[in-house]
Amino acid sequence: MKSEIKVPVMGESVSEATISVFLATPGSYVDSGQEILELETDKVNQVLYAPASGSLSLKVEVGSSVKVGDVIGFIDTDAKAEEKPPEKKNVPVSQAPPPAPLKIEGAGSRKNGDDFLKGLEKKEQVTDLPKEAPRAVLQEGSHVTRKKMTGLRKTIAARLVEVKNKTAMLTTFNEIDMTSVMEIRSKEQEGFQKRHGVKLGFMSFFVKASVSALKAYPLINSFIDGDEIVTFGSYDIGVAVSTDKGLFVPVVKNCDELSFGAIEQTIGAHAKKAREGGISIDDLKGGSFTITNGGVFGSLLSTPILNPPQSAILGMHSIVKRPVVINDQVIIRPMMYVALSYDHRIVDGREAVLFLNHIKTSLEDPARMLLDL
């Protein structure tokens, strides 16, 4: 009996995928639930699992384009797993039988010479590079390699160009004294970790501060649809996660209803799924505002790019001790530059500056977040 292997539904807006890599060898025996291959879409990668145990047969190759619902192979459930051959025992050299003598038909004869030449030809054929191998071009004394862009990277590139061409993006900056937040983290870290099973990070503070600011300035929780301004009624915040395959922005839903612990747990779970290739379309849908943290890589200042169709994105950066003037005295404080990029078509400079100042005030005096000020 043959069990079909079909391309599954991978989200509302995903209809095509590319075969990225085989995780099991065609013709081999696989167990039910075993990873067979990986599908790459313009949004996420998804692993396909064996629907049953049996011999694997695939009708596609790496790089093939497939559509949702396509039958790309079968599992022959009548096949049985092959028994492993017995392990070879090491035999001492002294006990090993002597090698069989070589049979040479007329040394120096034409037949023997022809066989030798044929052997050389076969070796040359094996060592030839495949035609589809990536080309290496010598250019100005250095080697340049070519590699086809992944579907995800092409989508990222297209979206970045779209933002540049279709929005009036502008960035405003401010700096935050992180003393209060760092003191809370240091004081409460041990108890927080025991209670919630995750560390108390900076991101939950920024998420809560952003929710407070979005409530005060709802235009920033909006987007343009044709000639209409659509304002979100919920506070679903995307948190950018960097992976080997590109940047993902999983969404933490209903942040206004979540505790600091629930926010940190959700962010940690999303980040793990993204880096292990298990992120889903549902995890990436529906964000109304995005936060990205370049500070984890040492960035001091940047202008983050909008995540369409959202109208704004907040950029966090490195915390650096700097001299600042407080009450006419120069004091060293842990400071962070923050950046808010926004679509000037919908958000005026006044709202953007006040929004960022609201976040600054909330983080420098965290009690304001608890009192919803």
Nearest to 180 by CA among 365, 369, 349: 365
In three-state secondary structure terms, 251 is strand
Q: Name, in order, each residue with C-beta under 8 angstroms of 330's C-beta and a sequence gap of 6 or more.
A: 323, 324
Q: Name, in order, each residue with C-beta under 8 angstroms of 174's C-beta and a sequence gap of 6 or more.
A: 337, 338, 340, 356, 357, 359, 360
Q: Name, in order, each residue with C-beta under 8 angstroms of 69's C-beta and a sequence gap of 6 or more.
A: 6, 7
Q: Quick one: which H or E segment has residue 10?
A: none
Q: Is 244 a catalytic residue?
A: no
User: Which residue, chain included where needed, has tokens 């004081």?
Assistant: 187
Given 31, 282, 348, 365, which residue is catalytic?
348
258, 299 contact by CB (below 8 A): no
Q: How many CA atoms lie less than 13 Å away from 182 in the CB half-sphere?
A: 11
Neighbours of 291 (CB within 10 A): 23
Q: Is 344 a catalytic residue?
A: yes
Q: Locate 245 and state its tokens.
A: 């395959």
Give me the amino acid identity at 284. L
Q: What does residue 46 show for φ and ψ, rounded to 5 degrees?
A: -135, 135
Q: Which residues pair with 351 in a beta bridge?
A: none
Given 114, 115, 282, 344, which residue is catalytic?
344
Nearest to 155 by CA among 343, 12, 14: 14
Positions annotated as catalytic residues are 344, 348
